[in-house]
Amino acid sequence: MFASRPTVGICAGLAEASWGVWRQPAVLLPLNYFTAIQRAGGFALMIPPDPELAEAPDQVLERLDGLILPGGVDIDPATYGAEAHAQTVGAVLERDLTEIALVRRALEVDLPVLGICRGMQLINVALGGTLLQHVPDEVGHPQHRRTPGSFEDSDHDVRLTSGSLAARVVGEEIHGTKSHHHQAVAEIGEGLEVTGWSSIDDLPEAIEARERRFALGVQWHPEADDTSRLIEALVDEARSYRSSRMARGDP
């Protein structure tokens, strides 16, 4: 029944979009995120940028059993005290501030959280970390985003720490992933631990807060991989969170 499905909030971006005869600013997310949540038995609730949520995130978090921070445009460097690189484009500060507030509060109340690509970077920034603004400048190659706008030929392996949440979820310590990013975590945020590294160049590709019930960021895109269990694992943890909340008599 609908009432038994865990509600998973997923943050959305702002972008120009076209449909029918219209071209207008829109709140936007790829369909495969929703498909993955629904396939795992969750109810997906899209969360747009909202200045009020940046001040009072409980307005939506109280309605959620889990939170996903998806991929998207670059994060505004002002959020981590840096000047913008020439390759840092598309940032929407309103979105960044909303999501930073949501993540910080979600971790405080131990809501299950999964960050995907940009979402991993956002978790790191929210907890005081910084970013590499253009990875090719740091590692000397473009292999983390081989074909902009496509996951074709995007696969590479990630090495995961034994016993980490990431390794437990995927069921292995060498995990094949689909990659599409040009930024990455640099200085690690407070309370976070790097538990995954790219096989290409040892770039950090998984971070987690081990003191939380489920707080994981991955640099790859599980929504683009039908064999991935990551989003299913988040929904399963959200279901457990919902059950414990209902047992306490919370609404």
Amino acid at 137: D
Strand partners, 158: 175, 198
CA 89/CA 134 separation, integer angstroms:
11
The question of whether 11 is a catalytic residue gets the answer no
Structure tokens at 153: 């030929």
Q: Which of 11, 117, 180, 181 is catalytic?
A: 117
Q: DSSP per residue over the chain, as a string? A: -GGGSPEEEEE-EEEEEEETTEEEEEEE--HHHHHHHHHTT-EEEEE---HHHHH-THHHHTT-SEEEE---SPPPGGGGT-PPPTT-----HHHHHHHHHHHHHHHHTT--EEEETHHHHHHHHHTT--EES-HHHHHSS-TTSSSTT--TT-EEEEEE-TT-HHHHHHTSSEEEEE---S-EE-SPPTT-EEEEEETTT--EEEEE-TTSSSEEEESS-GGG-TT--HHHHHHHHHHHHHHHHHHTT--
Residue tagged active-site, from 144, 156, 175, 221: 221
The residue to which tokens 């200045």 are assigned: 51
Q: So which residues are the catalytic ones?
A: 117, 221, 223
